[in-house]
Amino acid sequence: MSVHKSDLKKITTHQLQEMKNRGEKISMLTAYDYSMAKIIDGAGIDIILVGDSASNVMAGNETTLPITLDQMIYHGSSVVKAVTRALVVIDLPFGSYQGSSGEALRSAIRIMKEAGAHAVKLEGGSEVKDSVERILMAGIPVMGHLGLTPQSIYKFGTYTVRAKEEAEATKLLEDAKLLEACGCFALVLEKIPAKLAKQVASALHIPVIGIGAGPDVDGQVLVMQDMLGINQDFKPRFLRRYADLHTAITNAVGKYITDVKSKDFPSKEEMY
């Protein structure tokens, strides 16, 4: 079901907070280009994340590490041009904020100025506290990201569920509180036990958005290519597919090829 155009108001971080306060769940999806962003914004999505998952689903890389700040700005500016309602959050890519808080601020400013983002997202807790604070001091809204943080894949070694052990769960809860205390407007929790996600969402006042974090959080996010069934190889337990675009596109392209080869296309009506 899409949302009525007359119901559409521009989403702000303040409105997201109000949604949490009144128990309304927040919807978030990724997008990386103008055409797709226009469709999902028109359908009424609350937040569009220009995720560094663009590295995987747009560029075909195995991890999110190779994508550059310039490439994120390119994807982000295409999305921003399409959007009239959703809040657009752009990921700070690996290597653009870990070096120092000054570097983090410079990267965040480039994303705001050159792509026109409404907010930035970065991965990590206490390790990135200085960077988060410095970016926030410049008036740039920050979304945190804890749990499975794909930019640290070579430290973790696998993409399995995080924070199953007590020590990691305790650090995650402390990091979540720290990010809220710093002034983050929202937090993404990726691939952690549902029980822990529920504990974090009820301990925090800011909205907590889950991916593979169960139902008891304030909203959900999925990668668009995964939920539309474009990417067929990725089948984690948390993913629900809402379409089978891989089959739909394959069939459409197959029909086009047949029509071209058989000279059925173009017809008299399709020429000048």
Structure tokens at 178: 């720290």
Catalytic residue (choose from 127, 133, 190, 270): 190
How far apart CA 220 and CA 28 sit, in angstroms, is 6
- Estimate the crossing angle of helix 129-137 against helix 166-182, to 10 degrees: 20
Residue in 71, 69, 67, 90 with CA at minimum distance from that of residue 80: 90
Cα–Cα distance between 263 and 259 in angstroms, integer? 6
Which residues neighbour 156 within 8 Å (Cβ) at sequence distance 6 or greater? 148, 162
In whole angstroms, the minimum distance from the beta carbon of 209 to ligand KIV comes to 8
Q: Given the complex with ligand KIV, which of 53 and 231 has the nearer CB atom?
A: 53
The nearest distance, CB 22 to ligand KIV, in angstroms, is: 24
Least distance from ligand KIV to the Cβ atom of residue 29, Å: 9
Which one, 52 or 180, has the nearer CB to ligand KIV? 52
- Name the minimum Å distance from CB 7 to ligand KIV: 26
- Residue number with CB closer to ligand KIV (29 or 173): 29
Task: Choose between 8 and 65: whose C-beta lies nearer to ligand KIV.
Answer: 65
In the bound state with ligand KIV, the residue whose beta carbon lies nearer, of 19 and 222, is 222
Collapsed DSSP state (helix, strand, coil) of residue 81: helix
Determine the Cα angle at 155 with ends 210 and 150, to 5°.
30
Name the residues that contact ligand KIV, by CB under 6 A: 30, 49, 51-53, 91, 145, 188, 190, 211, 221, 223
The verdict on whether 190 is a catalytic residue reads yes
Nearest residue relative to ligand KIV (C-beta): 51
On whether the CB atoms of residues 160 and 190 are closer than 8 A, the answer is: no
Handedness of CA 189, 179, 217, 82 (dihedral sign): negative
User: Count of alpha carbons within 13 Å of 233, Cβ hemisphere only?
Assistant: 4
SS (H, E, C) 10-57: CCCHHHHHHHHHCCCCEEEEECCCHHHHHHHHHCCCCEEEECCCHHHH
- Shortest distance (Å) from residue 128 CB to ligand KIV: 14
201 bridge partner residues: none
Nearest residue (CB) to ligand KIV, 85 versus 145: 145
What's the min distance (Å) between Cβ of 51 and ligand KIV?
Answer: 2
Which are the catalytic amino acids? 190
